[in-house]
Amino acid sequence: MDSNKKQDCLDGIICDAEKCEYNDSRKCYASSIKVEHGNATTSSETECSTFKNNTSNQ
């Protein structure tokens, strides 16, 4: 894990964004997140505004 990442993952968050800098083994290590799409009825219809592209995962 990158030393710039927060050491604690966010409880209850399963991250599917494979190229996100904060994703490590489907755990989110961002200090906080903002999930958008107010009309979503399933988790697959949501979008994380905290996403930060990890160019080393390409």
pLDDT of residue 28: 94
Residue given tokens 């190229």 in the structure block? 19
pLDDT in tens, 26-43: 999 999 999 888 888 988
pTM: 0.70
User: What is the pLDDT averaged over residues 42-48?
Assistant: 87
pLDDT of residue 38: 81
Query: How many Å apart are CA 2 and CA 24, to the nearest integer?
Result: 10
8 A C-beta contact, residue 8 and residue 1: no
Give the residues across from 35 on adjacent strands. 48
12, two tokens? 């209850």
Task: With CA atoms as reference, report the closest residue to 51 among 35, 27, 37, 38.
Answer: 35
> In which band, very low, low, confident or very high, does the pLDDT at 57 lie, cut at 50, 70 and 90?
low
